[in-house]
Amino acid sequence: KPATVRVASTWDFGIAANQAAWAILGQGGHALDAVEAGARVPEADLKNHSVGKGGYPDRDGKVTLDASIMDAEGNCGAVAALKHVTHAISVARRVMERTPHVLLAGDGALQFALEQGFKKENLLTPEADQAWHEWLKTAHYRPVINSEVRDYGAGSPDGLPGGKDNHDTIGMLALDAHGKLAGACTTSGMAWKLHGRVGDSPIIGAGLYVDGEVGGATSTGVGEEVIRSAGSFLVVELMRQGRTPTEACREAVLRIVRKKPKTAKEIQVGFLAMNRDGEVGAWAIQPGFSYAVCDARNQRALLPAKSVY
């Protein structure tokens, strides 16, 4: 059966991101261009407090971004703890295409971005600054399940029927008309993290992995758990052994839960996977993880992932 041209993203804001990716995929464009364009949408969205500009800062009030991008041939690039540049995903792509390296971090990542012509910006919006000052009153650090639930009353800005909007890392996987897969992942990481903390999103094999022979996977949630389990690589390897995307995500989630029987109830990790036929699946520890799928038939599907609890 021929592969289906399709893009899938984590969370409800993946719907808008998918539209930008589809503008490229629908014209016969490349998956790599599509996932970069898609990831840039929440990066620029000031209302999204987990990705790009407008993201919540670390414990010291600094916004630091993590991002990675990977294609079907195993080419990949990433930035970690990048300050002052909104489109971390585009910097990650430059690392992939214009350096002999895979991952640049901190000041070196910023220096490279500026050399590449990216604009230096203040990423801390007044709203995020206010939320940080509010947090400083207790300075109690505990990752919140599904990051943030904002109540929009009658309907969300995306026009979704439910009044709630979850905001978290965006991971995106796409299959193009040439049969090529690509993936992208971008985030401001856990709010109020220690300065210098790097999550799973820029770690190839943790927050993102793509293998053109098999498929791709990406993750959201508590990055430390995903790094410990080499989560996205595991999902891809499970698909290689014959699991469907859904089964592979479920098994990767269960590995985390089995290792943390006492605390797994308090953390969220979600995986999203796409195989090389364009089939999509997801699974999470907790309920509440949703993913958006867009293809020629349905442009704005939003599906709830199944979960352990």
| Residue 200 found at the interface with ligand SD4 (CB under 6 A) | yes
Instruction: Out of 156, 187, 275, 290, name the contact with ligand SD4 by CB under 6 A.
Output: 187
Cα–Cα distance for residue pair 58/139, rounded to 1 Å: 11
Q: Which is nearer to ligand SD4, 29 or 270 (CB)?
A: 270
Q: Which is nearer to ligand SD4, 6 or 49 (CB)?
A: 49
Nearest to 298 by CA among 280, 285, 282: 280
Q: Which residues contact 121 (CB under 8 A, 6 or more apart)?
A: 53, 84, 85, 86
Q: Which amino acid, one-letter code, is at 130? A: Q
Q: Catalytic one among 169, 186, 187, 218?
A: 169
Q: How far apart are CA 294 and CA 307, in angstroms?
A: 22
- The smaller minimum CB distance to ligand SD4, of residues 50 and 90, is found at 50
Query: Around 92, how many Cα atoms within 13 Å sit in the side-chain half-sphere?
Result: 36
Q: Which stretch binds ligand SD4 (CB under 6 A): 119-127, 186-194, 228-236, 251-259?
A: 186-194
Residue 98: CB atoms within 10 A of its CB come to 12
19 counts as binding ligand SD4 under rule CB under 6 A: no
Identify which range of 31-39, 152-160, 175-183, 184-192 contacts ligand SD4 by CB under 6 A.
184-192
Cβ distance to ligand SD4 smaller for residue 12 or 66 = 66
Phi first, then psi, for residue 13 (nearest 5°) are -70, -5
Q: Shortest distance, CB of residue 83 to ligand SD4, whole angstroms?
A: 15
Closest CA to 34 of 44, 42, 22: 22
Helical axes 31-44 vs 14-25, angle rounded to 10°: 150
- Location of structure tokens 């010291």: 60
Shortest Å, Cβ 176 to ligand SD4: 26
User: Would you call 169 a catalytic residue per the annotation?
Assistant: yes
In the bound complex, what is the minimum distance in angstroms from residue 227's beta carbon to ligand SD4?
Answer: 8
Determine, following the binding rule CB under 6 A, whether residue 156 of this chain makes contact with ligand SD4.
Answer: no
Residues identified as active-site:
169
**Contact footprint for ligand SD4 (CB under 6 A):** 50, 66, 147, 168-169, 187, 189-190, 199-201, 220-223
